[in-house]
Amino acid sequence: MKKLFFSIVAIMFTITSCSQFTSKKEYDAVKAENDSLRMVQEQVEQEMNQYMKAINSVQENLEAIKQSEKILTMKKMSKDLSPTDVEQINKDLKDLADLLKKNKEELQNLQKRVKNSSFKISELQKTVDMLTQSLQEETNKVMQLTAELEKKNVLIDSMSLQIAEQADNIRQLEDQNVEQTTKMQEQDEALNTAWYAFGSRKELKEQNIINRKGAFAPQRVLESDFNKDYFVKIDIRNTQEIPLFSSRAKILTNHPKSSYTLEKNDKNLVLVIVDYKAFWSVSRYLVVEVD
C-alpha cells in the first residue's frame, strides 16, 4: 500500500509541476498547458479516489471475514451444540459466503478499472494481486472450517455448496489476475525493447541492413528485408553503454545527437546513452558502421 501511495503522489506531483515564464506569450502558453494539466489532475484524483475506495472496502471485508472465522472456530470447538447454535452457525456461514462474494465482485470491478485505466500503475496491479491472494487464503480457511463443521453434522447441504462455489469463483479471479499481470509485464517489456547492430560496411551489406540502388544513389538503412537475427535485443532502461570494439564508428540510424556521446575506452569507442528516452524516440533500431 505504501508503494501504491507513493506512485499516486508521483503522478500528482508531475501533473501539478509548472515552468517559469518571462513573457506574456510564454505566460499564455503555460496557462493553457496548466489548464489542460488541471483537467488531467481532476481525472487522476477522481480515478485514484475510486481505487482507494474500492481497496478500503475490500480490506474492511477481509477484516470482517477474519472476525467471522474466529467466532465460528470458537463455536466449532464446543462439544455440545444446541439447535439454536446450529442455526446460528449456518447463518454465520451464509453471511461469510456473502462477504466472500462481495469481495470477489469488488476485486473484479477494481481489476476492470485497472485494465481500462489510461494511467498504468504497476503498484496498483500488485495491490490487486495481493488483495486477491489474501482473499484466497481466507477462503481456504473458510473451506477448511466448513469441512470440520460438516464432520459434526451441523451444516445444511446448501451451505457447503455455497461456500465451495465462492471458493471456486475466487480461484478463477486469482487466475485472471495472474493473466492480467503477465500481460502488463509483456506490454511493459515491449514498450522498453530496442535492437542494435554494428559491423563493417561489408558486414552490414551482407545482412541487407544497408544498401545502395545505383552508384550515385544515397545509402539506404533498414529499407530492405534485413536480417533481424543480426541485431541484439535490449531493455532500453538498463542499457546505458554499448561497446563498439572499434576506434572508428558512424551511427547510421536517426537518434538525437544530444542524447548520446561516443567515448573512448582504451583505443575502442563506447556509445554512451545519456538520455535513453530521447535516444530511442525516433527509432528503436540502432545501426552503427565500424571499421
Give the chain's mean pLDDT: 77
pLDDT computed for residue 260 by the predictor = 95
pTM of the model: 0.45
**pLDDT average, residue stretch 103-108:** 83
pLDDT in tens, 195-206: 999 999 999 999
Q: Domains of the chain by range and CATH?
A: 2-191 (1.20.58), 193-290 (no CATH)
pLDDT computed for residue 173 by the predictor = 72
pLDDT computed for residue 195 by the predictor = 94
Q: Is pLDDT larger for residue 3 or for residue 62?
A: 62
pLDDT computed for residue 239 by the predictor = 93
pLDDT computed for residue 90 by the predictor = 78
pLDDT computed for residue 112 by the predictor = 79
Axis-axis angle for helices 24-76, 2-16 (nearest 10): 160
pLDDT computed for residue 17 by the predictor = 47
Q: Is pLDDT larger for residue 8 or for residue 278?
A: 278
pLDDT computed for residue 29 by the predictor = 60
pLDDT computed for residue 15 by the predictor = 47
pLDDT computed for residue 31 by the predictor = 58
Q: Is pLDDT larger for residue 52 or for residue 280?
A: 280
Confidence tier at 19 by pLDDT (50, 70, 90): very low
pLDDT in tens, 108-158: 888 877 777 666 566 777 888 888 888 888 888 888 877 777 776 666 555
pLDDT in tens, 168-192: 777 777 777 777 777 777 777 888 8
